[in-house]
Amino acid sequence: MVRVAFVAGTYQSQHCGVAHYTAHLRQVLSARGIESLILTTREAANQLTDPTVQGAVNCWHLSELLALAQAIIESKVDCLHIQHAAGTYGFDRAIFLLPLLLRLRGWRLPIVTTVHEYGWWEWRPAYLPSPLLEWLKTWGQRRGWWDREDGFLLTYSDAIITTNQQAEQIIYQRLPHLKSVTHRIPIAANVETALLDRSTARQMVQQAYGWFGEVAIIAFFSFLHPVKGLETLLPAFQQVVAAYPQARLLLIGGVESLALPGAQADRYWEQLKALVAELGLTEVVQMTGYSDQVSVYLRAADLGVLPFHAGITLKSGSLLAMMAHGLPIVATRSNPPDPDLTDKSLLKLVSPRDAVLINTARGSIVDPIALYRALSEGKIAAAAIDVTEPEPIPSDSPLLTLENLIITPHIASASRQTRTKMATMAIENLVAGLQGNRLPHCVNPEVYS
């Protein structure tokens, strides 16, 4: 029987997406008759009772590297698989030397490295002058001895797995000789889809939170963290509720993670609760915390929202989980955009016959070429847009030939109720300003802090 040893920076799946990925991979391998064990820190191993999770090191410092190499050699496995994301190793660089050390010690068995993150972080020791460090990185990388980001980790691996196209392309650019051993295997959804019909799921969620009647449930799913856009989402949702009182928001996910441990996580949780209360959203926003009922929540939702600061890519388990549950998703775009998530691809995700696209925000949100294709090919049933890119829409635009598209000339606010409210808000701001008071409808309230 084939045995594989995984080196993992941590193995707490409830706090780390890479650990969750590794645990799921082990389950799949086991179902195919492949045994595996985990070599990680003693602290991580001691939190589990699983004998196949072994503590090989106290930390990931250079002083622990020989002990890790010895544990690998003594494990008598057929293959070593290193799961690498810099943050899971506390940004310690010693792991970059592991493949080289093993080869020097006579290890001839296959080494596989999965690169979960690549192209954004480099080692910059303070004791080396920047020009010299840059020369060394470039000099060794050109010869294929090491790379500027991960040292010997990739150049001494027999196979490299990437989970996204961006990482793959950067490896090709830096280390073209490794193209033949680099394989892109996209991750899957990080949540198993519950065998539960939507109506039952909605009933369970509505009863749990006292949300009765016809409500629209919006779901956020990820670790709760300052970079996930929650401080933007909550004030925006306040405006949604003002216009649509039936709206409800579920913040699904725990707060403690490698990036936000212990007391920091507790403080952030309290900050979010305080913000919800300050915005008057206590009755319409619920924070689930870490939960094994994620699939039930997503099954009950009407819409998914992912306002991540860095945007979404296909390496996001949260995005893939929402897709697996058939949710329409509003999300921020990464810069540069994930090449596998073009506007055309996103439009294809919408149900083909009963979906309607409405855009009253900004014309640049929707690619007009992708919209034309989606409408003309029946991928979405119809669209109504009040804004275009460019604006006004060119007279020869193919969009004007479609019968299932309504275009209005940027007049979505031209209702008596809206214009009256706009005038009232302007007057209230003017009066407050003349009286030296805080503007009640300020678009940049941070100026008062």
Q: In this predicted structure, which of 81-90, 256-265, 440-449 has the lowest mean pLDDT?
A: 440-449
Q: What is the pLDDT of residue 441?
A: 85
Q: In this predicted structure, which of 43-57, 230-244, 308-322 has the lowest mean pLDDT?
A: 308-322
Average pLDDT over residues 306-311: 86
Model confidence at 389: pLDDT above 70: yes
Average pLDDT over residues 307-315: 84
Average pLDDT over residues 397-413: 92
Q: CB count, 10 Å around CB of 220?
A: 26
Q: What is the pLDDT of residue 449?
A: 62
pLDDT digits (tens, 9 = 90+) for 86-110: 888 888 889 999 999 999 999 999 9
Q: What is the pLDDT of residue 93?
A: 87
CB 305 within 8 A of CB 219: yes
pLDDT digits (tens, 9 = 90+) for 228-248: 999 989 998 998 999 889 999
- 347 confidence band (pLDDT: 50, 70, 90): low
**What residues pair up with 5 in beta bridges, in sequence order?**
37, 80
pLDDT digits (tens, 9 = 90+) for 263-276: 888 999 999 999 99
Structure tokens at 193: 């889809």
Structure tokens at 133: 């460090």
SS3 31: helix
Model confidence at 351: pLDDT above 60: no
Q: N- to C-terminal Cα distance for the chain?
A: 64
- With a CB cutoff of 8 Å and minimum separation 6, the contacts of 367 are 342, 343, 344
Q: How far is CA 24 from the centre of its chain?
A: 18
- 194 confidence band (pLDDT: 50, 70, 90): confident
Report the run of H or E that residue 356 belongs to, with start and end. strand 356-359
- 360 confidence band (pLDDT: 50, 70, 90): confident
Closest CA to 165 of 181, 148, 186, 179: 186
Closest CA to 284 of 328, 238, 233, 326: 238
Q: What is the DSSP string of 271-314?
A: HHHHHHHHTT-TTTEEEEES-S-HHHHHHH-SEEEE--TT-B-T
- 418 confidence band (pLDDT: 50, 70, 90): confident
Average pLDDT, the chain: 88
Q: What is the pLDDT of residue 444?
A: 76
SS3 72: helix
Model confidence at 380: pLDDT above 90: no
CB 386 within 8 A of CB 366: no
Q: What is the pLDDT of residue 413?
A: 83
pLDDT digits (tens, 9 = 90+) for 124-153: 777 888 889 899 999 999 999 999 989 999
Average pLDDT over residues 180-207: 88
If one compares 202 and 363, the residue with the highest pLDDT of the two is 202
Q: CA 376, CA 378: separation in Å to the nearest integer?
A: 6
Q: CA 259, CA 227: separation in Å to the nearest integer?
A: 10
Model confidence at 350: pLDDT above 80: no
Model confidence at 212: pLDDT above 60: yes
Q: CA 76, CA 57: separation in Å to the nearest integer?
A: 18
**Token pair 């302007």: residue:** 426
